[in-house]
A and B are shown apart, each in its own frame.
Chain A
Amino acid sequence: MKTRPRKTPPWYALDHAAVIYPPTMSDRAPAFFRLQLSLAEPVNLVALSDALQKMARRFPLFHVELRKGAFWYYFERNDAPPAPMADSLYPMQRPEAGKKGAHLYRVRAYHNRLALEVSHVICDGYGGMALFKTLIAEYFRLCGLTVPCEEGVFDLDAAPSPEEWEDSFARYSRPGLPPPPPQDPSWHIPGALLPRGTIRITTGRLSVAQLLAKAKGYGVTATVYLAARYLAALQDYQEDEAMASGQPGDAWRRKAKPLRLEVPADMRKIFPSSTLRNFSLFLEPTLRPRLQRYDFADILKIVEAHMALGLQRGELARIITRNVEAARSPFVRAMPLPIKNAFMRALNSIYGDRMFSGVLSNLGSFKLPAILRDRVLAVDLIINTSPVIKQTVAAISYGDVFSISIGSLCESAEFERRFLTSLVKDGLRVKVESNIPHRRG
């Protein structure tokens, strides 16, 4: 039997973590994250463009555009490679759902800086790193180097595996598990926001060896140390705000909201999966200022305990199950998209933005094949924020450089100052740069 050529491009469903992003995307919460490299040489745009051309066949998952259906958003295949584009003062602008030809990832260049901006609608940090490493390797191959497929670089000649676009949340959902208990709303940094479409990125770079030695001195991991410093900075900020409002003594503590961080964790380490789509959940280290003021040693213990408890397989499974079963509910399925969007925004507000005072994402070590180590000088990670949470912290290490980027929507850089100077006071050398100058709050 003859098969007629397909006239319309194929479509795909969003994974269970991604469905929350399209309704909640806005100019201030574009649901993007960004990996950026500083190269030893200026970016060769011809080689970059040629490298991008080769990505579509190996990474079909990324070559899609977001479309609106009657009941759900969906992906439509778009094999046209995105052209490299100029970088911007304010990175990670929101894509427009339903706009023909608008890809969900972008490659941007500025002198010797090469950046990949990826929408969380298609993947998490693991998927973004896979695409970026493969793109960088191909870019340098086109520049004349022989780059092996190692350290997470995918072979462009190999066929994509179906497991790469598996929705692993659906695979590990176990209907019947009790949902996680609801959490109370947390405290948020006050203050006016920056204008729409703008974001302040403040990057602090420090030595990996120094940081690991410092964390080891406290007997914890680098992520636990940073989360503890983050919570300590928020605790001081909350106290100073309460004092500034003129409340006597500790009276404010009776109504003080908790300080809670969202710390994303890669589920692939716990539930075997090789998907490139979203497959991460978050841990929730929490301080309760109503109970007491915590010193740094207390905070370290609390964060470490929260992280250990949160990574229990059963605890994670019930979060996965709640998310998947909610999307599978006939009631939710039958909702037309505009109503579903309003429903999703409310869910995101209750279980997302309102629950967390901040976000700390540590993507870990970014490794490249040895031949590229002298050609790539630094790597930074910048993650999405929202007008409620206002600031997020993203960390990544490359060689001996540990990069901490704070994305903030606040006019005031007070949080950045408190957090980064707390590292300095702890004996770490931090080098700071920002995309926009300081503005007093």
Chain B
Amino acid sequence: MPYCYKCGVELAKGGAACPLCGTALPDACEETDAPARPAYPDFVHDPDYGAGLSGRDRRRIALEILSLALGLAAASSVVIDLADGGLGWSRFVAAAVVGVWGVFAGVLALWSRPGWAAAAAAGACLAAMAGIDAAASWRGWSLAVGLPMAAVAAAGAFAVGASVRKAKRRGLNVAGHALLAVAAALCVLELALDLYLDGAVFLRWSLITAASIVPVSLLFYYMHARLLRGADLRKFFRL
């Protein structure tokens, strides 16, 4: 029977070191006649694996709840508006509700294909904006401003999602990516608004906002790289 000469305890066969003090066992002490099996398995098994609803079931239920809630909201708006004398403001509500439903339904239905989900969400946003634009005697802002904004939002969400998926460690770098995407989206928004309203581009407030946001995102990247890779976070935060 192997034993630790420091602690004086006997040890199980096959152990490389004393579990109490870490003293390595000399080879001579190890018995090799019987195959050694560790006291516990060397893998982690989740006991609740397989119990409960699958991710697909959860998304289906979420879509049902969302459809019911938004459908009731749109229907009650239309009924109230009709009781008030005609179909007026409720058209905007209905268009917005359809847009919100389309965004979430697209994401939930295309959960495993993030690129397609982002495109579907952008399409739903654009359709909702076009609906609102049409309801307010078509002025074309939905195409001139909404289209580039929806495209940039979808591209930004896709880029952030893809970079997060590829990242080996996820932490403050996700916030950094998201802030950069917001800064880019704001620049495109001002660009589209300038073109639509004045016909000329003069970026001002979006650059100021971006100049405020980008340093914060750089700080997040720095903290992520320094704390996660350079130091032990568990010790740092006493986790």
Contacts and interface: CB of A to CB of B under 8 A. Distances in A.
A12 interface: no
| Interface residues of chain B: helix, strand, loop or mixed (majority) | loop
B199 interface: no
Interface in A406-423: 413, 416-417, 420-421
B28 interface: no
A430 B10 contact: yes
Contact of A85 (B9, B47, B239): B47
Contact of A86 (B12, B41, B52): B41
Interface stretch (B14-22, B67-75, B204-212): B14-22
Q: Which of B1, B12, B48 has its CB near the most chain A CB atoms (within 10 A)?
A: B48
A102 B52 contact: yes
B67 to A, nearest CB: 23
A117 B12 CA distance: 24
A164 B10 CA distance: 42
Contacts of B4: 432
A413 B7 CA distance: 12
10 contacts: A88-B47, A93-B48, A101-B51, A193-B239, A413-B19, A416-B19, A424-B7, A432-B10, A432-B11, A438-B18
A108 B49 CA distance: 14
A11 interface: no
Q: Which of A203, A413, A434 has its CB near the most chain B CB atoms (within 10 A)?
A: A434
Contacts of B46: 88, 93
A202 interface: yes
Given A110-B40, A429-B10, A433-B11, A100 B53 contact: yes
A204 interface: yes
B45 A204 contact: no
Contact of B45 (A88, A99, A102): A88
Contact of B44 (A88, A193, A420): A88
Contacts of A351: none
B47 A93 contact: yes
Contacts of B43: 86, 88-89
Given A96-B48, A102-B51, A88 B1 contact: no
Interface of A: 85-91, 93, 95-96, 99-102, 106, 108, 110-111, 117, 192-193, 195-197, 201-204, 413, 416-417, 420-421, 424-425, 429-440
Nearest to B13: A433
B8 interface: yes
A299 B239 CA distance: 34
B113 interface: no
Contacts of A101: 51-52
A96 B16 CA distance: 36
Contact of B41 (A88, A193, A195, A197): A88
Nearest to B4: A432
A87 B8 CA distance: 30
B22 A421 contact: no
Given A90-B44, A421-B9, A433 B39 contact: yes
A95 B48 contact: yes
B52 A202 contact: no
B51 A100 contact: yes
B168 interface: no
B234 interface: yes
A162 B37 CA distance: 44
B47 A431 contact: no
A110 B38 CA distance: 10
Given A430-B9, A432-B19, A434-B19, A89 B238 contact: no
A200 to B, nearest CB: 8
